[in-house]
Structure 1
Amino acid sequence: MRISYYALALGWAVVILVLTLLPAPVLPPGPKWDFLTFDSLVHAILFGMQLLLLLIGLQRDPSVQITKRIITRSFLLVVAFGILVEILQGSMGLGREADPVDALSNTIGGVLGLGIWSLLSRRFSGNFRKSG
């Protein structure tokens, strides 16, 4: 297993940690929507992209055979990461609080990321693999 296959996923995890653990006063207020909050959408996008990048890294790694078990574990890892982020927000005392709705949004993002990966991997089967 080479770390280079996972560099984008790991870098994105750092981006998520930085953005979600910033003190509350540093963050600009998001637009107010009636049905879905902007914050929920951002969480879904962040964690959907996290799962997508992880799965692409796994697919590119020639030492990994993509199976339903690998996909399920990847999804659960991203969900656990989302829950951990919420726990950290609540425990760091930076004006942020743990929000179960955000954890749900993170999970929904993971489902969306899984759906996008599934579509892309079918459409471009084998193209995520590194040649050579």
Structure 2
Amino acid sequence: MLKFLSVRNAYYALALGWAVVILIGTLLPANALPPTPQWDFLTFDSLVHAVLFGTQLFLLLLALLRDPSLSLTPWLVAGAFLAVVLFGGLVEVLQGAMAMGRAPDPVDALSNAIGCVLGLFTWLLLRGRF
């Protein structure tokens, strides 16, 4: 049983590791962050949020697909999508609660959700390759 659990967890290692990267990067104190370039149309920060959370959803879906104990149904894909969107919202709430120079930003939460949509579209385009 213990061997099965460790093998099964290996499917989720990338997705869990990426979640830790997101938490560390988004919850660092504001003064620890490097300066970001200023763009006119789309902010660099919004792009980073979208890429982080799009990648998170993609890695989670890949893990769910590779887990032999699961069947990747549309309901499971929708649940994974919702879980990552909620994770993005939780990150914003934590930024406001930690009092480390960061503040919750609804635009960042929206960028997180847009990233999830892009991650889902990428998954749907590439899923036959895995």
Band of TM-score, shorter chain: over 0.9
- TM (norm. structure 2) is 0.93
- TM (norm. structure 1) is 0.92
Q: Which runs of 5+ in 1 are unaligned?
A: none
What is the Cα-based RMSD across aligned positions, in Å? 0.8
Structure 2 residue aligned with 1:77: 83
Cα distance, 1:29 vs structure 2? 1.3
Cα distance, 1:89 vs structure 2? 0.2
Structure 2 residue aligned with 1:65: 71
Structure 2 residue aligned with 1:47: 53
Q: Deviations over 1:60-97 (max 9, x none)?
A: 01111011100000000000000000000001000000
Q: Provide the C-alpha distance between the structure 1 equivalents of 2:124 and 2:66, rounded to a whole number of angstroms.
A: 15
Percent identical among aligned pairs is 66
Q: Deviations over 1:94-119 (max 9, x none)?
A: 00000000000000000011111111
Q: Deviations over 1:29-88 (max 9, x none)?
A: 110001110000000000000000000000001111011100000000000000000000
Structure 1 residue aligned with 2:19: 13
Does the alignment pair 1:120 with 2:126? Answer: yes
Aligned residues: 124
Q: Which amino acid in structure 1 is aligned with residue 111 of structure 2?
A: S
Structure 2 residue aligned with 1:91: 97
Q: Provide the C-alpha distance between the structure 1 equivalents of 2:101 and 2:82, rounded to a whole number of angstroms.
A: 28
Q: Which amino acid in structure 1 is aligned with residue 46 of structure 2?
A: S
